[in-house]
């Protein structure tokens, strides 16, 4: 296979097949020839759109067989603009290069546009912030979301800026780091003190009755998804008895990544996250027995006290392990300080 020639002004690439290419499918050969920036799915889309010609004749069949000496011309379109519009929303950027961006997400920021949140999201902010440095994910100039944090959960997130980064990071998050260096650690403030300093919650999750929340469900249910959370008690607060108000700071590490996983799992073992409006309502009255000023802080806290403090992963291009940490947000730190006085 000869190296591709390109004409930057037109987006044209010219490739010549050699003897090794003979008999290969057009999409298979092109995906290998164009390199890691082009997934096979994207190559197939380009072929079906008529962007590839062999010997001057448009070839729109991905399964066409190649022959030694075939000359392929690929007319690469400019990446299409993302449907969401860029918005000048401030971002706390921890790191950025041509492949990815790492941010410290604040509370209240929805990650992706959707029903009821078509604007003001992280995606809108990233389109504005990154601009032309987004090389295109699947042919569209947009940020590649590879994992999410709930709207009211704070902390470290990584977002892809290129196809190659998107595929590599998506694979890492899909297998939850089993085959790589992915690490995710969250800090949560929970009601009660777990009986053990370390533990594991292994419980399948599925949809609750309202279809927005999640619940622990039997393994055999159709929508059941395996979920495992490991927790470590970092600090204990208050009296450890039936009448006293007690709480704990715990670190949670994910072995899987399901919607609301930490929040549901901690509530399942009797230690819901403080402030959680969906899974901690049963224990909200505990705040009435706290001394001031922490009582007011907890009762007025409008969200779950959950923070993604650590994220580590292999850089998709350099293969160097990168690790990022974000401190607790000020409102959650204030509650932690108040609990320390119990």
**pTM for this prediction:** 0.76
| Contact present, 162 and 236 (Cβ < 8 Å) | no
Answer whether residue 105 shows pLDDT above 50: yes
Whose tokens are 């930490």? That residue is 262
CA distance 264 to 217: 11
Q: Collect all residues with Cβ–Cβ distance below 8 Å to 180 and sequence separation of at least 6.
A: 172, 313, 314
Cα end-to-end span (Å), the chain: 71
Between 2 and 276, residue with greater pLDDT: 276
DSSP state of 38: S
Answer whether residue 176 shows pLDDT above 90: no
Strands 154-160 and 306-314 turn out to be: parallel
CA distance 233 to 155: 19
Question: In the prediction, which pLDDT does 6 show?
Answer: 39
Residues paired with 321 in a beta bridge: 314
**150 catalytic, yes or no?**
yes
Q: Residue 74: which of 12, 18, 9 has the closest Cα? A: 12
| Contact present, 194 and 248 (Cβ < 8 Å) | yes
Q: Collect all residues with Cβ–Cβ distance below 8 Å to 329 and sequence separation of at least 6.
A: 106, 107, 154, 307
Tokens representing 15?
Answer: 């490739």
Catalytic residue among 150, 163, 276, 278, which? 150
DSSP three-state, residue 184: strand
What's the Cα-to-Cα distance from 203 to each of 200, 224, 226, rounded to whole Å?
A: 10, 9, 7
Domains and CATH numbers, the chain: 5-75 (3.10.290.10), 80-165 (3.30.2350.10), 183-339 (3.30.2350.10)
Q: pLDDT band at residue 179, thresholds of 50, 70 and 90?
A: low
Cis amide leading into 293 (omega within 30):
yes
What's the Cα-to-Cα distance from 198 to each of 13, 233, 306, rounded to whole Å?
A: 56, 6, 18
The tens digit of pLDDT for each residue in 239-286 reads: 655 456 789 999 999 988 888 999 999 999 999 999 999 998 888 888
Q: Residue 190: which of 136, 148, 248 has the closest Cα? A: 248
Write down how long the chain is. 342
Span 211-229, mean pLDDT?
89
């Amino acid at each position: 296979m000869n190296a591709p020639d390109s004409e930057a002004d037109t987006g044209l690439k010219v490739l010549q097949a050699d003897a090794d290419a003979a008999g290969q499918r057009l999409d298979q050969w092109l995906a290998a020839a164009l390199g890691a920036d082009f997934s096979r799915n994207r190559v197939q889309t380009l072929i079906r759109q008529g962007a590839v010609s062999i010997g001057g004749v448009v070839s729109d069949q991905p399964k066409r067989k190649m022959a030694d000496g075939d000359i392929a011309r690929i007319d690469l379109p400019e990446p299409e603009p993302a449907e969401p519009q860029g918005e000048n929303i401030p971002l706390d950027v921890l790191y950025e290069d041509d492949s990815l961006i790492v941010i410290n997400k604040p509370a209240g920021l929805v990650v992706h546009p959707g029903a009821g949140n078509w604007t003001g999201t992280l995606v809108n902010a990233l389109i504005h912030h990154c601009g032309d440095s987004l090389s295109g994910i699947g042919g569209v100039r947009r940020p590649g979301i590879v994992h999410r944090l709930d709207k009211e959960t704070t902390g470290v997130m990584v977002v892809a800026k290129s196809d190659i980064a998107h595929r590599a990071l998506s694979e890492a998050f899909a297998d939850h780091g089993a085959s790589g260096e992915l690490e995710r650690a969250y800090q949560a403030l929970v009601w009660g003190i777990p009986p053990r300093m370390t533990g594991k919650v292994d419980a399948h999750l599925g949809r609750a009755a309202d279809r927005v929340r999640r619940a622990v469900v039997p393994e055999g249910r159709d929508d059941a998804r395996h979920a495992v959370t490991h927790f470590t008690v970092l600090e204990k607060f208050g009296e450890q008895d039936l009448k006293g108000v007690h709480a704990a700071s715990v670190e949670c590490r994910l072995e899987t990544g399901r919607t609301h996983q930490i929040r549901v799992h901690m509530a399942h073992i009797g230690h819901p996250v403080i402030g959680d409006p969906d899974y901690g309502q049963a224990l909200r009255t505990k705040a009435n027995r706290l001394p001031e000023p922490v009582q007011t802080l907890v009762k007025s806290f409008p969200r779950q006290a959950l923070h993604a403090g650590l994220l580590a992963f292999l850089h998709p291009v350099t293969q160097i392990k990168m690790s990022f940490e974000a401190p607790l947000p000020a409102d959650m730190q204030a509650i932690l300080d108040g609990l320390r006085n119990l």
